[in-house]
Every structure is written in structure tokens, then in C-alpha cells.
């Protein structure tokens, strides 16, 4: 099985070859190294991984922000570049062309909407203010352009990832 994984700002090609017994893998990273790995899933998200004479506890975290491996007290965010997934391909080629959305970075309540449909906005101009745990967070426009949609009203409850406005 071949996987393209983006981690630590780099794209890696990982090849996993299952061994004869369950949990055994032969792993090559970017075609150069080839390592024997033994892995056991203790419970969902908690993996005991043995490789190179060392034992690791790898914990998988998944949220709206993406996936992260927790290893020895550190977070390692990663993203799978799945050639079958249209969504990941699209986000890989992210630029400033086309419509861009202002999305909620955290769950909260909308306290203010600073732009309306038809407004011309600058890049990084505040569009929506959301509040959670007594802290306010201003969500900014990802690009300069025209506000074509506003999907938030003061008082709305939003979750991370919700599209609150679209800038074209």
C-alpha cells in the first residue's frame, strides 16, 4: 500500500507492505529506507509501535482541523494526500484564485458580522467576530475581493470548519 503523507512541512511517500503475521509491516519512506515495524492497536487511536529496537506510544487525534500523531509529548500534524480524494487535491492547489471562504476556526457564538454582501474587502480584513469562553476571535478575509455570501448572524452558534462568509 502506497500513501502520500504530508508531515512536518514535507510530502513523504510511504510504502507499507504487510508481513506474514498480523501487525508486521515492511515500511519504506521516500523509497530510500526500508524498516521493519510491528504495530498493535491497543484501542481506537492508541498504537503500540516497535521499530529499530525501540518502542513507541503513538496516539491518533482527529478533529475538524485534521489529524495529529501524539508522540512523546509532541504533536505531529499530518495530512494524507489521497489521489482518490478530490478535496485534498483541491486544497493542495490552494491559491488566491476563485472564491475563498471565511471558516470558523473554533466553535463559538457569532457576536458581530463586520461585512455585508457586496462589500469590497482587503486581505486580512476582519469579517466575522466569534466568541468562546469569554474570548473574542476576529475571523479575517483570506484574500482581497468582494463579499458574495454571508452565512452568519449575531447569536448563531458555529462549529469549527463552518463556512461563515465567501469572498470572491
Q: List contacts with other proteins (CB under 8 A).
A: 1, 3, 5, 7-8, 12, 14, 16, 25, 27, 29, 35, 37, 39, 41, 43-47, 49, 51, 56, 58-63, 66-76, 78-80, 82, 84-85, 87-88, 105-109, 132-135, 137, 159-160
Backbone phi, psi, residue 106, to 5°: -150, 160
Query: Least CB distance from residue 45 to other proteins, whole Å?
Result: 5
Kindly state the cell numbers that stand for 137: 476571535
Query: Least CB distance from residue 7 to other proteins, whole Å?
Result: 5
Query: Least CB distance from residue 123 to other proteins, whole Å?
Result: 19
Are 13 and 82 spatial neighbours (Cβ–Cβ below 8 Å)? no
Kindly state the cell numbers that stand for 33: 529506507
Q: Kindly tell me which of 60 and 119 has the beta carbon lying closer to other proteins.
A: 60
Query: Least CB distance from residue 38 to other proteins, whole Å?
Result: 10
What does each C-alpha distance from 138 to 45, 108, 152, 162, 164 come to in angstroms? 33, 12, 13, 15, 12
Q: Rounded distance, CA 59 to CA 76, Å?
A: 10
Sheet holding 126-132, edge to edge: 135-140, 126-132, 108-113, 157-158
Q: Kindly tell me which of 1 and 118 has the beta carbon lying closer to other proteins.
A: 1
Q: Kindly tell me which of 70 and 143 has the beta carbon lying closer to other proteins.
A: 70
Query: Least CB distance from residue 167 to other proteins, whole Å?
Result: 21
Amino acid at each position: 500500500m502506497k500513501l502520500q503523507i504530508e508531515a512536518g512541512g514535507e510530502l513523504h511517500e510511504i510504502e507499507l507492505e504487510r508481513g506474514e503475521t498480523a501487525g508486521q509491516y515492511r515500511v519504506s519512506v521516500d523509497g530510500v529506507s526500508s524498516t521493519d515495524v510491528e504495530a498493535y492497536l491497543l484501542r481506537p487511536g492508541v498504537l503500540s509501535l516497535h521499530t529499530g529496537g525501540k518502542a513507541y506510544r503513538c496516539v491518533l487525534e482527529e478533529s475538524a482541523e485534521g489529524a495529529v500523531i501524539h508522540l512523546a509529548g509532541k504533536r505531529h500534524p499530518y495530512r494524507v494526500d489521497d489521489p482518490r480524494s478530490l478535496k485534498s487535491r483541491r486544497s493542495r492547489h490552494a491559491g488566491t484564485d476563485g472564491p475563498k471562504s471565511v471558516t470558523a476556526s473554533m466553535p463559538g457564538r457569532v457576536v458581530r458580522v463586520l461585512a455585508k454582501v457586496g462589500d469590497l474587502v482587503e486581505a486580512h480584513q476582519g469579517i466575522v467576530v466569534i466568541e468562546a469562553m469569554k474570548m473574542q476571535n476576529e475571523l479575517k478575509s483570506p484574500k482581497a475581493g468582494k463579499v458574495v455570501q454571508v452565512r452568519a448572524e449575531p447569536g448563531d452558534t458555529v462549529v469549527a470548519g463552518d463556512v461563515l462568509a465567501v469572498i470572491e
